[in-house]
Each structure stands twice: as C-alpha cells, then as structure tokens.
Structure 1
Amino acid sequence: MKRRTIQSPVSTLLTLALFGLLAMGACKSKKKVAPAPAPAPVEQPAPTPPPAAPKPSAEEVAVGKLENYFNSIAQSTNVDAANRTINEALGMFSNPQTPVLIVIHEENGIKDYDEPTTIEKYLHYLKDTKKNLNFISDIRLDGNGRVTELELRRKK
C-alpha cells in the first residue's frame, strides 16, 4: 500500500493562491474604462463658393430679349397685343428702319442673304405669319445699347 505523505502547509497555500489568481484573472474587471479622449478637430479651410457665372454681355442680353419678343409676337392670339409687343420691341432699335438681314446660304465664309428688310417690316411679318422660323445669329449695338443691325438664320 502506498502511503500518503502530508503536504506542507506552504505548498498548499501556494496552490490555493495560484488557483485564486487564475480565477481572478479570468473575471472581468468591474472598473469602467475611461473613453479615449476625442482627437482635436482639425481645422479645415472653408469651402470656396463656386465661381460666379460671368455676367452676360449687352449683346447676349439683347438677343435674349429680342428672341422673347419674336416668339411673343408670333404666338400672339390678339392683334392689339401683338401690336403692343411690336412697339415695345421697336424701342430696342436705333430706329424702325434698322436693317434685318436673313442668311439663306453660307459657303466658305461667303453669305447669301434674302432680300434685306427692316425691323418694323419683319415684326409685322411675324405677326401676320404667326411663325418664328429664324434665330438671331449676329447683332450690332450702338453706344447707347440700341440695335443697329440684325442678322438672322433659319432654324433647323
């Protein structure tokens, strides 16, 4: 038969301490972990606004207004309203006899024009036909911003 030896109290104590440490190491700590400090905000340059659209030239403004007048006259259902619009449009020209040239053909930079007309006759033509078949391809203004010459082309 084997004989049991009595273990020393020191080795028993060490064994218990080892188990205790292992048990405590396996348990999670009940202390709350402090959150890491938030990083300092990085200052970013203010976004640059998109570049402003360039202001339209006097010619572009005049073309826009005239195209609106032409469409309004051609689509007018009332003769009096068309005549009022014609009078407004004539105010943009240096005089009612301002030449209107209509390009009918262009080849190698050489333009062929329909018979020249005046702005007054052209506006009444729009009123009578109720069709705006042309667009403004060139415009000339005087120093006061009034139209002195108008070149039109057929819409495609």
Structure 2
Amino acid sequence: MKKSLFSFSISRALVLAIMVTLAMEACKSKKKVAEPAPPPAPVEEVEETPPPAPPAPAPEEVAAQKLENAFNQVAAAGNTSIANQSVEETLSMFSNQEAPVLIVIHEENGIKDYDEPTTIRKYLEYLKDTKKNLNYISDIRLDANGKVSELELRRK
C-alpha cells in the first residue's frame, strides 16, 4: 500500500510546526529568566529627625490628674484614719477649704444646670462617707500660686 505523498507531507509539516512552536516558547521563557533584573532605584539618604517632643501638659491638666487620683484614694480608703489623711493631703492642693465645687447635672445648648454648690471639704467628706467617686473633673481653675481655686465636676 502506497500512501499519498500529499497526506504524508501535511502530517509531517504539522508535527514540524508543533515542534517549532514548542521550541520557540521554550526559548522565550529562557530569555525571560536570563534577562538581568533592572537596577534598583537609587535610594535618597534622608536624615531621620526624631519626632518633636509632645508639649508639656498644662498645669491644669497636671492638677486635674492629681485630684482624680486623690479623689479615688479618699473613696477607696480602707478605714477612717487613712481616709482622713487622704482628705488632708487633698485639701493642701486647694487655695482654701471653702473652694467651690460645682457639679453639672445637665447641659443643653451651652447652658449648664448645677447641683447645689458645695465646698471641697464637704465634697471630700461625701467621698469618704459614700466610698464612691461618681464624678470626673470637667473644669479646673488655679490661682496665682498654682493651687486649685474652683472645681467643676460631671457624672461619669
């Protein structure tokens, strides 16, 4: 049996074309691997400056933090003598024992409603008796000597 020359050459040509295509693909992938990587971009040297130091806290902020701690100590005192000692230490932070303490009970449109005004001594005695500190400092005023002259509190 004799095969036709035409069918033989088409199948050979097809096989040859497939082999050439595969060979070309293999060469392309080798070229991609063989190409050198582009040089890295030049890095500019930047002097790192330390971040600016946070501003020193205002005297009012320092006094408010100390007072919060003192109020918590009075409320958490284990016995009366410790509570009385904490009350006396706290009173030393005020300009006088009759410094006003205002407790905001409601605020609307910038208008504040206060509970009955009291003094710092009465407020500290209240903390000592109830053993609960339910307020936080919302405004504090210091006199020229750096002592607290007026205090405004709000419910936590």
Normalised by the size of structure 2, how large is the TM-score?
A: 0.70
Aligned twin of 1:147: 148
Name the one with the larger helix percent.
Answer: 2
Answering whether residue 102 of structure 2 is matched by residue 95 of structure 1, we say no
Aligned twin of 2:86: 85
1:89 aligns to what SS in structure 2? helix
Per-residue CA distance 1:89-113 (angstroms, 9 max, x = gap): 1111010000000001111111111
Amino acid at match of 1:53: P
Kindly tell me the number of residue pairs found equivalent between the two proteins: 114
Structure 2, unpaired ranges of 5+ = 1-42
Answering whether residue 129 of structure 2 is matched by residue 132 of structure 1, we say no
| Structure-to-structure mapping, 1:52-67, within 5 angstroms | 52-67=53-68
Structure 1, unpaired ranges of 5+ = 1-41
2:152 aligns to what SS in structure 1? strand
Amino acid at match of 1:59: E
Tell me the CA shift for residue 78 of structure 1: 1.7
Structure 1: distance between partners of 2:54 and 2:79: 38
Amino acid at match of 2:103: I
Tell me the CA shift for residue 45 of structure 1: 4.3
Aligned twin of 2:123: 122
Per-residue CA distance 1:12-68 (angstroms, 9 max, x = gap): xxxxxxxxxxxxxxxxxxxxxxxxxxxxxx883431112111100000000000000
Structure 2: distance between partners of 1:98 and 1:71: 19
1:112 aligns to what SS in structure 2? strand
Normalised by the size of structure 1, how large is the TM-score?
A: 0.70
Aligned twin of 1:49: 50
